[in-house]
Amino acid sequence: MARPWSRRLTIAFAMAAGYLAWHRLGRTYGSTAAERRTTMPGDHLVRCPQVVATHAATIPAPPDRIWPWLVQVGWHRGGWYTPRWVDVLLFPDNRPSADAILEDFQSLQVGDFVPDGAPETECGFVVRECEPDKHLVLESTTHLPLSWRRRGTARLHWTWSFVLRPVADGRATRFVFRWRARTGPWWFTAGAHLVIVPADFIMSRGMLRGLRTRAARQPPADRTRATALARGRERR
């Protein structure tokens, strides 16, 4: 029979191994080693990041069918296509992610503000690069409690870069996205590694699957009809 200390040691090692595996998925889910090494648009905006995560998926739709879903992301816009239970748990005040193309949010341009929280939080992204059907780069220094930002309690500078690369003779798309963050002070950086990176596995996997499902099922010709139906439901 194993001694109590031996069982506790085994459990501790198993938990540590599980956490490290989860942490790695939070930085690499779906991406290849080559994709993680490749320079992406927006990488230059955050120099010497303490946290970098690159995720990817192959979506069975051309880039021009994915792009309309991508440019409407954001708070009380199209959402982030994560599972509803994630939204309810983490962002209960946000609307469900859109299931249709929303024409009101299709004119995204460099310099636009994409909200990622209620207006009083002043939280969101600024569009830094926007190349239709190719890539979108968002930058933020506001994803902290407003009181922290005003007092200088902590710092967060991060970017999200989304890249669409056609594959299979343009019939499918390799969707790669990366976030890079520079944080401070040390305790906030440690918290980002301990909590945010593992949690990003759930968020990123959910977003990739949600985007894949939406883009794959709806041909471009159906966008106008789907948008009209969505607006009709909102009026009721």
Return the CATH number at 199.
3.30.530.20
How many other CB atoms are there within 10 angstroms of residue 88's CB atom?
11
Alpha carbon 100 to chain centroid, angstroms: 19
**Contact status, residue 74 vs residue 116, Cβ threshold 8 Å:** yes
Residue 219 lies in a domain: yes
Indicate whether 181 belongs to any domain. Answer: yes
Q: What is the pLDDT along the chain (236 residues), one digit of tens a residue?
A: 456 767 777 767 777 677 677 778 889 999 999 999 999 999 999 999 999 999 999 999 999 999 999 999 999 999 999 888 887 777 778 888 999 999 999 999 999 999 998 899 999 999 999 999 999 999 999 999 999 999 999 999 999 999 999 998 989 999 999 999 999 999 999 988 888 888 888 889 999 999 999 999 866 544 444 444 344 433 34
Tokens standing for 11?
A: 């459990």
Sheet holding 51-59, edge to edge: 51-59, 172-184, 155-167, 135-140, 124-131, 113-115
Which range marks the domain in which residue 123 is found?
A: 41-235
So what's the pLDDT on residue 168? 87
**Number of domains present in the structure of the chain:** 1
pLDDT at position 219 is 60
- pLDDT for 15 equals 73
57, part of any domain: yes
pLDDT at 230: 41
In a domain, 52, yes or no: yes
Asked if 78 and 226 touch (Cβ cutoff 8 Å), the reply is no
The whole-number pLDDT of residue 87 equals 78
DSSP H helices, the chain, are 4-28, 33-37, 63-71, 84-90, 146-151, 186-191, 197-217, 223-235
- How far apart (Å, rounded) are the C-alpha atoms in residues 147 and 141? 13
* pTM for this predicted structure: 0.85
Is residue 7 situated within a structural domain? no
Q: Is residue 29 part of a domain?
A: no
Identify whether 192 is part of a domain.
yes
Residue 2 inside a domain? The answer is: no
pLDDT of the residue at 79: 92
